[in-house]
Amino acid sequence: MVGYEVVLKDRTVERIVGADAYQQEGPMTTFFERAEGRQVVDCWANRVASLRTQDILIIRRGDHTPNDLLPS
C-alpha cells in the first residue's frame, strides 16, 4: 500500500496510508489519494490527512504492507 511516513518536530512518526501525493495548502500540508489514471492533484483527488506544515521535519514516501500497520 502506498503512503508516507512523516517525522514531526517532537520526533513522533505519523503514517499516512493510501496517500500518493501531497501539497501545501496554506499553513497545512495535505496528503491526497489521486483518482485512478490521474497524474495531478485535482478535484477528483481525495484528501486523506492534513498536518501543520510547521510541525513537519521529514516526509518519506514508502510502500507499507498490512503488517506495518499493526501495533508492536
pLDDT at 68: 55
pTM of the model: 0.82
pLDDT at 12: 97
The pLDDT tens digits for 3-55 are 999 999 999 999 999 999 999 999 999 999 998 889 999 999 999 999 999 99
Instruction: List C-alpha distances in Å: 57 to 1, 3, 41, 42, 45.
Output: 23, 17, 23, 26, 25
Residue-wise burial string across 14-43, b where 16 or more C-beta atoms lie within 10 A, e elsewhere: eebbebbbbeeeeeebbbbbbeeeeeebee
- Grid cell locating 7: 517525522
pLDDT at 2: 86
